[in-house]
Each structure stands twice: as C-alpha cells, then as structure tokens.
A and B are shown apart, each in its own frame.
Chain A
Amino acid sequence: MTHTVLTFVTKVKPDQAASLGKLLDQIGTNPETNAYVPFRSLNRLHFGSFVLHQSPDYGPYLVFENNFDGVLEDYLGDLYTLAANGLHQIYSCCLDYSVTSATDRQGMLSYLTAHVVRPNAYHVGNTGRCAERISQERDLRATLEQQADSLVRRGKATTAQGVLTALQQFVRSDPRFSWVMSPAGPRETSEQIFAAWSKLILVGVLAVVLLPLWLFPAIILVLVLRYKESTDSVQADSADSDKVTSLLETENHTASVQNHMASITIVKPGWLRRSTLWLVLWAVNLLARARATHGELSGIPSIHFAHWSMIDNGRRLLFLSNFDGSWENYLDDFIDKASDGLTGVWSNTINFPRTYFLIFGGATDGPRFKAVARDSQTVTNVWYSAYRELSVQGIDNSSSVREDLMNAADAATAQALLRRL
C-alpha cells in the first residue's frame, strides 16, 4: 500500500480572495460533513486542508493539501464524485479556471491535475497503513480494552498466555473482526525497500567515486555559502502578535490531539540558495524514504504527514504538517532532535537565525527560530483529520496489537503484546 502526498496550488483572483476566504471558513466549521467538500466521505483520505495564503508579492494563493491512500487518479475520481459542486465553487475563485459547470468532469479533473504540486520531500508516520485499516484497528483495540477490563473485573487475568488466549477466542468468535484473521500485509513491499535503499547506496557510491569531480567546486560553493550566511540578515523582532493570536485561535481543538501547520517562506535570492535548498530536500527525501519508515523522522515520533514543496520556480517553500500535540512541542522536538536537518532546509529561506555551514546554529537559537516560524506560518482555513483522537504512536501500537494478536505466543511474547493495551 502506498500513500500519495500532494497539494493543488492555484492562484486566486485578487478580487475574489475575500469571498473565497469566507467560503473556506464556513467549510472549516464542519470539515467532516459540509456540503462543499465532505471530507469524511473521502475514505482514502488521512488528512486534508485548505489554506488561503495572502502575500503582497505573489498575491493570494489557494493550497489544497491531500494525504491519501493509493494513486491520484482514483482519488480524483472520489473528489469529483463527492465534491464536484463545492470544488467548482471554490476554484471558480481561482485564476485560469475556465470550467463553466460542475458537470464538466474532464475539465475539472484536468484543471486539478495541471495544478498538482508533488512535494520535494515528505514524511509519513505510519507508512503503509491505509485510512480504513487505521480506523478498523482503532475499533479492534477499543474492543480489546473492554475485554481486558472484563477479564480484570472477573479475576481472570492471571497469566499472560491465558489472557491472550481469551482475547484470541473472543476475536475469533466475533464476525465483526473476521478481517483480523487475514494478515495485515507488509507496510512496504520488498521492492519498495530495495528501491529506497539501493538508491541511497547508489548515491553514496557515486558520491565517493565521483569525489574528484565535485570536491573542488563543492569547496568553493561552501565558502561562498559560508560568506553569504555570515552576512544574511536574521529575524530581529518577536513574531507579530496579531498573527500569533489568529493562529492560536485555530489551534488546539478540544476534540483533537493533533494540530496542523502551514507555512510559506521566501527562499533567499540567488541560484545558489535555490539549488542548495533543492539539494537538501532531495537528500532529506532520499533518507526519509529509506530510513524514516517506522514512525519517527529523525527521532521525532509525532508527525503523521509532512511535506516540503518548492513553489513559484523555487522562490518560495511551502511546508505542511499534520502532527500530534502542541505547536510548542513540535518546534521544540525539531530543535532538540532534528536541528541540523531542519536548519539545512530553512536556512535557505529569509530571516532564519544565523547558521554555520548550512546545518549548524540556526534552529538552536530557540526564541528566534520560533519567531520566524510563527511569522511564516499561515492560518489554516479548513483542516480535516480522519482520526483526530489518535497519535502516530497510538496508531502504530494498535497496528502492532493486530499484527501479533492471532499468533501463537510463549509467555514472554504474550506479555509483550499485553503491554500494548
């Protein structure tokens, strides 16, 4: 099973931006079942968002984020079937949208396809787990918890193997859980793993073999970069307080354990910065495909879907993330655990804290980094999560329970499984 992570990025007619904003905010009050884009019905979708971004230099942009199961073609079919009218109304506010009626399936789909932006780099927390499976396993876990409570209450929780056998019998006897009997399937096919690793190794080998070719130019470029970063201007002031207020007003929904972050930053001028950013994102993606496939991105356990896309011919960087917990925690995790990677990416955008050799310094200036992050962040108008009460770790845990549940187990493995409840 593969995920697709992408956005549709479109320019909004300046005179329509305000009314589009209103429409989106209305959708945002009920993303699940609103009449325009009823996200809950899109059953391949994990997370989706609409962000209306205003910028004095680039004008208003609409970013429609989609993180879904399978391939674009199937998902577009769903979108059209379930939200043709709503999307037609939304995109009628955008430039170069010439479709005149929502019945023009071909026209709408080719418009959307033409505006697809595939990320330069992305991360998926629960690789290979489809939305349907996540909700099934959530229900399985909840039921097992109830069974466990009942075993404890009746004094039947005496040995790990005994408990596990009782749970297995329960699941076998309940037709709702017949799907548990068939194996979940690997998170990634061996071909995918092979491809990701062989690419990584190939790049490593090539880099070594071709060292004589690129070493000298690279040294020159690093020196130029070093000079640039010592003179680039950095954020001077705290984040704009009105901006922070409007962001805080949309964050921390009471019914959700997750948050969304959308940001558009301006890449520092010049081809060197643009190429550096492209290269760093390419490397991040290469590493993420091979190594960050089991929940953590560089030690950060809380990211469901995150993507980095260079837009406007590499002049701006779009970042979208769906993560667990608070904004403060998310940023601190980045600083504490992934400061080099994060600095390597964002140091190519304006106002970033002072860096040394691209990846050092930077984000470790916590207060300044957070101020830049808040200033570059943009309010999310509509945000949908298919499972807003679940964490990355929680999903992974429930999946592990399902994967191991029906296996015969000795005392130690039975105990290991029961610890997951």
Chain B
Amino acid sequence: MAELERKDIQGIVVSAYKHLPCAAYVLLRVSNPAATRQWIADRLPEIMASEAKHESRSVNLAFTYTGLQSLALKQDALDGFSFPFQEGMDAEYRSKLLGDTNENAPAGWDWGAGANPVDILLLIFGRDEKTVDAELQKQQAAFATGGLAIVKILRAGRQPNTKEHFGFADGIGQPVMEGTGNKQRQLERTHHATELPVGEFLLGHPNVYGVIAPSPAVKPEEDPQQLLAVIPPDATGLNAEAGMHDFGRNGSYLVFRQLAQRVSAFWNFLDKASCKADGTSDPAARDRLGAKFVGRWKSGAPLVLSPDRDDPKLGNENNFTYFDKDPHGVACPIGSHIRRSNPRDSLGPDAPTALKSANRHRILRRGRSYGHHLENPLVDDGAERGLHFICLNSDLERQFEFVQQTWINNPVFSGLYEEVDPLVGDIAKGNKLFTVQSEPLRQTVQNLSRFVVVKGGAYFFLPSFRALNYLAKLK
C-alpha cells in the first residue's frame, strides 16, 4: 500500500485529538461566495493536516452540498457526490431510515434542516477552554469579511472523565485506518484492533471490496492549474473517468448529529424498572440494568467478559466476540447498544463470515460530549446536554446509514421482535420494549421512552488540502 499523503489529508481523519479535549463547532452560511473563497484561502495555513500534531489546538473545515454549490463547484462534480450527501440528512425518506421521526424529525431541529440550513462546518479543537475561546474569537473576526453568517456555535467541553453523559465510558471500540500507525496504539489500549483499508474512510483509495468508490471529479479544463490529482488511465472504479481531476480524493464524508441526552429521564426510568418489590430503589440493580442497555458497565468493562459485576480493570477492553462466548445474549443482551452498533461475529451464518460482513459497515467516530455533567443523574437540572456525534466514512449508505437503519433501528435485528436500540433507537419503530436475555427466562423492560433526541444534523464533506485549495481558487 502506498504511503498516506498526510499533507493532503485533514488531521481529524487520523487523530481523534484526544490531547485537545475542548472543542467548538461553528456552523456557517455563505452569503458572499467570492469573499468565502478568499476566506478559505486564508484558512489554508491554519488547517491542521495529518502529518503533524499541534500540541495546543487544531482547526478543520468541512462543507455541506449547499456549501459546495454556493462556492460554485461545477454541477458535474457535485453530481459525483453520493446521493445522501447531495440530498442532505433531512430528506424525508432519509429520515425514515435514520429514525428521525416524531420528536426527532428534522422539522424540529435547531440547525441543519429547512429553516436553519448550514453550508460550512469549522471545527476548532483546543487543549483547554481558553485556547478554544481565543481561536474562536480570532476566527469570528474573519467571518464578516469572509461573507459568512453564523448559524450556530456549538461547544463541546472537557468532561470530568472520559464518560458520556449517561455515565458510561465511550469511544473504546474503533476501527483503525491502514497506514496511520494507529493499529499498535489501539492494540495496546484495548487489546484489539480492526484495521481497514484507507478507502473505507477516504475517497480515491481501494475500499473493503478492493475497488475505488465513486468520487466527485472535474474536467481538466475546470482545473487548468492542475491543483487536483489526475485520475490515472487504468482507473476502473465506477464513475472514474481517466484524465478527470479528482476533487474527492483524500476527502471524507463527515456525519454530524447533535444528540441531546435525557440523562435524568434515563436513570429515573432504570430506577423504576429495577426497583425492589416494595418500590424502593436498588442502586446496584439500576446500574446493572443500565449496563444491560449499553452492553458495557460504566467503567467500560464489556458484559461478555464480566457478566455479573463491573470490573474497572477491563475498562478499555475490546478483545471479545459474541458467537461462541455469548450466542444467546445472556451476558450481553442481543439488543444492547454495543451489540447493535457493532455486532462483530454474532449475525451468522458462521463467525468468520459474520465478522467480515460486520466490518464492512464501520465508521470512525470523532464525537464529543457537550453540556455540563449532571451531578445527580436522578435529578434533572433543566439544562441540555448530549453528544455531538461526528463520524467519518467513505460511503454514507453502506457505513453510517447502514448502522443506523439495519442495526440500531431494526425491530427484527438478529432475530428479535419489535424492539430497537434502547439507548438511541427510534422508539416509534419498536414496541417500546427491551429484552434482557437471562436464564431460566428472559425479562422484558417495557414502556421505554426516547432518551436521546436529535437536535440537528447534516452530512458534510471534509475535503483534502488540494480540494480546499481548488475551492479557494474557483471563480
């Protein structure tokens, strides 16, 4: 495999910026395309590439379809993007498959749909709030001259630990991209690593099928300065026309969803569902039921390896499978969140086939929690908190949307009936049910409500440096 062109790839692709725990996501709308192109040109030296690591901050830049359209990227290049990206996350039939119905419907979103469209996403990461504030201030100063209006500034702050708001360790299982050198690190941290081809996350490279997926390209005359890479004569990929200039190469689709978490509703529900016969709380049973929902204990210890109690020693452990170890879900329920969002080898017909198949639907997660930690998870403080879910993939339909539709929101996932992911699923699709497999008899948890609500979202494209430069020089 050829070396990664690190200078051409934005930094967030290879790094989750764990050393930069604070972030601001600025959602922008283009009002003056010419000014915005100049603004992009001015940003180029500031944007972090994959080759280096800045110790205090990092800036990355992504665009929606309407953003690229308003910057006057040619229509034939725009047509080369994947359908979901062209249509946007809020298209009606996408809502059906993503589970964005009822309370989650785009009509109620704070941003990304109808009334509040977004063109550009500026991602700012910093080692502390002060650094982010300073960078944000500096960036904001350039918006007016850059022909940009702020739609929304979303903050993601440092959490007291690495846990998401429901209180569970997050971000343990994560595939790694070939060529990044992340495999070793992942193995050391979690004792497991699934290494996937570059083309699973970046356009213009062979994917898990060994082919190069369609990538937006422009005609040679649209790129007289040869800013973009030329598609070689032996290219065989779909839509790959030799001699065209590849706008998509080394870029990635970035999914952004603002997911508000109803922390106290979640824990109060668990409290009630796990209370003793006399109606009093049973904190141990409550935590246990919470772990059954998630598939890991609060520390992150997987239920498959530690079915009966939390074991912080296993907090980062990711070396486990289901097919042999827990085929019936007695340890980790079939419908639990981690088993749905990555079924590993559990879906059959045999373990190797199932694992191979599941690994064709992986995403690189880059999300962060936002809002303040709720001190007492049983008492609501009225504040909004949640997860700014961000993920990267090269094929929205086969990766992000597949996970969402076929695993998370599928009422008949893995032989179940009428239930969806108890944590993040589209509750309207199931029967508000969650089954906890156990012996001699399973238990069911009923009347679930929506614990996670979508507040906004959009599909972005995270271009390569060449493509950014090309955008800056468009006329």
Whether A419 lies near B328 (C-beta < 8 A) is: yes
Q: Give A141 to B417 CA distance when docked, in angstroms.
A: 11
In the complex, chain B residues whose CB is within 8 Å of the CB of A160: 439-441
Partner of A336, one of B101, B207, B356, B395: B356
Instruction: Produce 1/0 per residue, A216-258, CB < 8 A to B.
Output: 0000000000000000000111100100110011011010010
Q: Give A157 to B397 CA distance when docked, in angstroms.
A: 43
Nearest A-chain residue to B431, judged by Cβ: A389
Stretch at the interface among A4-12, A86-94, A146-154, A175-183: A146-154
In the complex, chain B residues whose CB is within 8 Å of the CB of A314: none
Q: Give A368 to B210 CA distance when docked, in angstroms.
A: 12
Q: Give A157 to B443 CA distance when docked, in angstroms.
A: 10
Whether A365 lies near B211 (C-beta < 8 A) is: yes
In the complex, chain A residues whose CB is within 8 Å of the CB of B398: 328, 332, 366
| Contacts known (A248-B93, A299-B349); A257 close to B238, Cβ less than 8 A | no
- Report B79 CB to chain A, min CB distance, Å: 8
- Report B405 CB to chain A, min CB distance, Å: 5
- Report B276 CB to chain A, min CB distance, Å: 12
Partner of A391, one of B239, B348, B415: B415
Whether B441 lies near A325 (C-beta < 8 A) is: no
Q: Which of A236, A299, A335, A419 has the most CB of B within 10 A?
A: A419
Q: Give A236 to B437 CA distance when docked, in angstroms.
A: 48
Whether B415 lies near A337 (C-beta < 8 A) is: no
| Contacts known (A325-B406, A325-B412); A237 close to B239, Cβ less than 8 A | yes
- Report A372 CB to chain B, min CB distance, Å: 9
Whether B440 lies near A163 (C-beta < 8 A) is: yes
Nearest B-chain residue to A397, judged by Cβ: B415
Whether A238 lies near B214 (C-beta < 8 A) is: yes
In the complex, chain A residues whose CB is within 8 Å of the CB of B185: none
| Contacts known (A158-B440, A254-B96, A301-B349); A329 close to B415, Cβ less than 8 A | no
Contact residues, B405-457 vs A (CB, 8 A):
405-406, 410-412, 415-418, 428-429, 437, 439-444, 446
Q: Give A394 to B410 CA distance when docked, in angstroms.
A: 13
Whether B412 lies near A336 (C-beta < 8 A) is: no
Check: B35 CB closer than 8 A to any chain A CB. Answer: no
Whether A371 lies near B443 (C-beta < 8 A) is: no
Check: A390 CB closer than 8 A to any chain B CB. Answer: yes
Contact residues, A373-408 vs B (CB, 8 A):
389-391, 393-394, 397
Contact residues, B213-236 vs A (CB, 8 A):
213-214, 236
| Contacts known (A301-B349, A325-B406, A328-B405); A244 close to B83, Cβ less than 8 A | yes
Check: B25 CB closer than 8 A to any chain A CB. Answer: no
In the complex, chain A residues whose CB is within 8 Å of the CB of B207: 366
Nearest B-chain residue to A336, judged by Cβ: B357
Q: Give A391 to B209 CA distance when docked, in angstroms.
A: 28
Check: B360 CB closer than 8 A to any chain A CB. Answer: yes
Whether B411 lies near A238 (C-beta < 8 A) is: no
Nearest B-chain residue to A296, judged by Cβ: B349
Check: A19 CB closer than 8 A to any chain B CB. Answer: no
Partner of A235, one of B209, B238, B410: B238
Check: A367 CB closer than 8 A to any chain B CB. Answer: yes
Q: Interface range on chain B: under 10, 10 to 19, 20 to 34, or 35 or more?
A: 35 or more
- Interface of B (DSSP majority class): loop
In the complex, chain A residues whose CB is within 8 Å of the CB of B361: 332
In the complex, chain A residues whose CB is within 8 Å of the CB of B210: 364
In the complex, chain A residues whose CB is within 8 Å of the CB of B416: 394
Whether A328 lies near B410 (C-beta < 8 A) is: no
Whether B415 lies near A241 (C-beta < 8 A) is: no
Check: A312 CB closer than 8 A to any chain B CB. Answer: no
Partner of B443, one of A152, A325, A332, A397: A152
Whether B353 lies near A368 (C-beta < 8 A) is: no
Contact residues, B363-411 vs A (CB, 8 A):
395, 397-398, 401-402, 405-406, 410-411
Q: Give A235 to B211 CA distance when docked, in angstroms.
A: 14
Partner of A371, one of B87, B238, B402: B238
Whether A257 lies near B412 (C-beta < 8 A) is: yes
Check: B237 CB closer than 8 A to any chain A CB. Answer: yes
In the complex, chain A residues whose CB is within 8 Å of the CB of B443: 152
In the complex, chain A residues whose CB is within 8 Å of the CB of B131: none
Contact residues, B134-188 vs A (CB, 8 A):
none
Check: B97 CB closer than 8 A to any chain A CB. Answer: yes
| Contacts known (A159-B440, A419-B328); A236 close to B239, Cβ less than 8 A | yes
In the complex, chain B residues whose CB is within 8 Å of the CB of A251: 93
Q: Give A140 to B97 CA distance when docked, in angstroms.
A: 30
Whether A328 lies near B440 (C-beta < 8 A) is: no
Q: Give A248 to B361 CA distance when docked, in angstroms.
A: 20
Contact residues, A143-177 vs B (CB, 8 A):
145, 148-149, 151-152, 157-160, 162-163
| Contacts known (A252-B97, A421-B442); A366 close to B412, Cβ less than 8 A | no
In the complex, chain A residues whose CB is within 8 Å of the CB of B97: 252, 326
In the complex, chain B residues whose CB is within 8 Å of the CB of A25: none
- Report A76 CB to chain B, min CB distance, Å: 33
In the complex, chain B residues whose CB is within 8 Å of the CB of A296: 349
In the complex, chain A residues whose CB is within 8 Å of the CB of B444: 145, 148-149, 152
Whether B411 lies near A328 (C-beta < 8 A) is: no
In the complex, chain B residues whose CB is within 8 Å of the CB of A254: 96, 101, 428-429
| Contacts known (A328-B398, A337-B357, A364-B210); A389 close to B440, Cβ less than 8 A | no
- Report A164 CB to chain B, min CB distance, Å: 9
Whether A148 lies near B406 (C-beta < 8 A) is: no
Whether B86 lies near A328 (C-beta < 8 A) is: no
Q: Give A152 to B277 CA distance when docked, in angstroms.
A: 12
Whether B415 lies near A328 (C-beta < 8 A) is: no
Enumerate chain B interface residues (CB-CB to A < 8 A). 79-80, 83, 86-87, 92-94, 96-97, 101, 207-211, 213-214, 236-239, 328, 348-349, 353, 356-357, 360-361, 395, 397-398, 401-402, 405-406, 410-412, 415-418, 428-429, 437, 439-444, 446
Known: A326-B410, A390-B412. 16 other contacts (CB 8 A): A157-B440, A160-B441, A162-B440, A236-B238, A238-B80, A252-B97, A254-B101, A257-B411, A299-B348, A325-B405, A328-B401, A336-B360, A354-B236, A364-B209, A364-B210, A389-B417
- Closest A-B pairs by Cβ, 4 of them: A391-B412, A160-B440, A157-B441, A299-B349
Enumerate chain A interface residues (CB-CB to B < 8 A). 141, 145, 148-149, 151-152, 157-160, 162-163, 235-238, 241, 244-245, 248-249, 251-252, 254, 257, 296, 299, 301, 324-326, 328-329, 332-333, 335-337, 354, 364-368, 371, 389-391, 393-394, 397, 414-415, 418-419, 421
| Chain A to chain B contacts (Cβ below 8 Å), 9 pairs | A151-B441, A163-B441, A238-B214, A244-B83, A299-B349, A328-B406, A367-B214, A389-B418, A419-B442
